[in-house]
Amino acid sequence: MNAFQPSKPPLQPPVKPTRTAPRPKKHLHQRSYQIMALETSAKITVNLVIITAAVSALSQLIPYHWLQQDKLREIRTEVKLMQGRVDNLRTEFSRNFDPSQANSIRQEQSYRFAPSQLPVVLINPDTKGTERSNSTP
């Protein structure tokens, strides 16, 4: 059982068959270059068509964009004007409905004064002098 076993002979690689006649590589390289040139020219053509379409679209969209920007500026200007008007109307509205301002508003709108107040009428002295000179013979 513990006897020596005969060693196995080393495995030898299989014998390669002899080469057959090589293909003409020059013809294959030339054909692959032609295919690559054709593929590259097709890619360039497609890219040029895409670039042309993009430039055409941009040339049509840029004037439209400028027009929209002008309209937007005009609308923003109108909004600023209307915002000032709205602010004035709001202050006037809040003043009109303020109970503490009721007497002063009534006096402004009807030109009536409280019995304790005397109306003050301002007369321009220049017009008073011209009226006297015109009225005296």
* DSSP string computed for the chain: --SPPPPPPPP-PPPPPPP-PPP-HHHHHHHHHHHHHHHHHHHHHHHHHHHHHHHHHHHHHHHHHHHHHHHHHHHHHHHHHHHHHHHHHHHHHHHHT-GGGHHHHHHHHH----TT--------HHHHHHHHHHH--
pLDDT more than 70, % of the chain: 69
Residue listed under structure tokens 């060693």 = 7
C-beta neighbour count of 107 within 10 angstroms: 14
| 19 vs 123, more confident | 123
pLDDT tens-place string over residues 7-45: 666 666 666 666 666 655 666 667 788 899 999 999 999
pTM over 0.85: no
